[in-house]
A and B are shown apart, each in its own frame.
Chain A
Amino acid sequence: MEITLTHYLVLSTVLFAIGLIGVMRRKNLLMLFFATEILLNAVNIGMAAISHFRGDYTGQMFAFFIIAIAASEVAVGLGLLIVWYKRTGKIDLDQMTSMRG
């Protein structure tokens, strides 16, 4: 029972699909942020697995930079969300129609 690269890629795909379901069904912006974190983590598993099975450090490097991007995304996104909540009292995606899109 050998665990191969395919096992890890299938797991990464399943987690990515869960994150995509979350992005599509969530209307609350805080929950939408949770789903994007799941997407980034799913990709990180694939990167680390390819790094291990191909014998190359590049995958782990990209995983580090993805973690850095996720951290800064949370800081800026949550700051914007707090300002929006102070202004309107809601964090619902359907009510963000001030730009008339």
Chain B
Amino acid sequence: MFEAIAFYLFAALTIIMFTITVMTSQALYALTAMAAGMIFISAFFFILGADFLGAIQIIVYTGAVMAIYAFGMMFFDTTRNVIEKRSNPQFVVVLGGLAAVLVVFIVLAPIVTTNLNANYPIDLAVGNTQAIGMVLFTKYLVPFELAAVMLLVAMIAGIVLAGKKMDKSLTLMAEEDIALMHASSATEITQEEAY
């Protein structure tokens, strides 16, 4: 009974928040509504007994991803309304039809395949976090390491892309000046190599 109340409450809240995110014309409203929606989604993970996943959802999404978005939005002009013009509605209709067919397959797949066997059955004697650790560091060790390398690559890419030439404004410079700046930095490198 309490599970049903919690499910319907958080389902309504999540749908409302994500609708605001998609429909609003203010970037700040979209950001805050999505942060709230992420928190509400973690409630589903707690209801489903995936405690560790719920904690990770709060820490990673509302802690890290939303903070990155908030910092990124400081670079953009977010005070004005987002202007969006619509063109080519037939294209959107075709894409929407394809997406609807795909969604039918997504929903039907776990219902049709009823003869699945559990590879790593849930053991209620062991806590969720402990069991996750045991599965993650035995059967999924290689994907875990690959995900770690991928996060490192993404971190370096983010630093290089956002931090490069922070002291110069590439917006106010002409294309020739930017090309000149790149050329001068290239000659500096060749001079250093000559020494």
User: What residues make up the interface of A, taking CB atoms closer than 8 Å to B?
Assistant: 1-3, 5-11, 13-22, 24-28, 30-31, 33-35, 37-38, 41, 44-46, 48-52, 54-58, 60-61, 63-65, 67-76, 78-83, 85-89, 91-92, 94
Contacts and interface: CB of A to CB of B under 8 A. Distances in A.
19 contacts: A3-B4, A9-B107, A10-B107, A18-B18, A27-B84, A30-B72, A46-B106, A48-B53, A49-B48, A50-B110, A52-B122, A60-B53, A64-B136, A74-B65, A74-B69, A76-B154, A78-B68, A78-B69, A82-B161
Nearest to B1: A1
Interface of B: 1, 3-4, 7, 11, 14-15, 18-19, 21-22, 27, 30-31, 34, 37-38, 41, 44-45, 48-50, 52-53, 56-57, 60-61, 64-65, 68-69, 72-73, 75-76, 82-86, 92, 95-96, 99, 103, 106-107, 110-111, 116, 118-122, 131-132, 135-136, 140, 143, 147, 150-151, 153-155, 157-162, 164, 169-171, 178
Contact of A76 (B92, B140, B157): B157
A48 B21 CA distance: 23
Contacts, number: 211
B111 A6 contact: yes
A54 B116 contact: yes
Contact of A3 (B3, B34, B41): B3
A64 B53 contact: yes
Contacts of B116: 54
Contacts of A57: 120-122, 131-132, 135
A22 B22 contact: yes
A72 B150 CA distance: 7
A78 B72 contact: yes
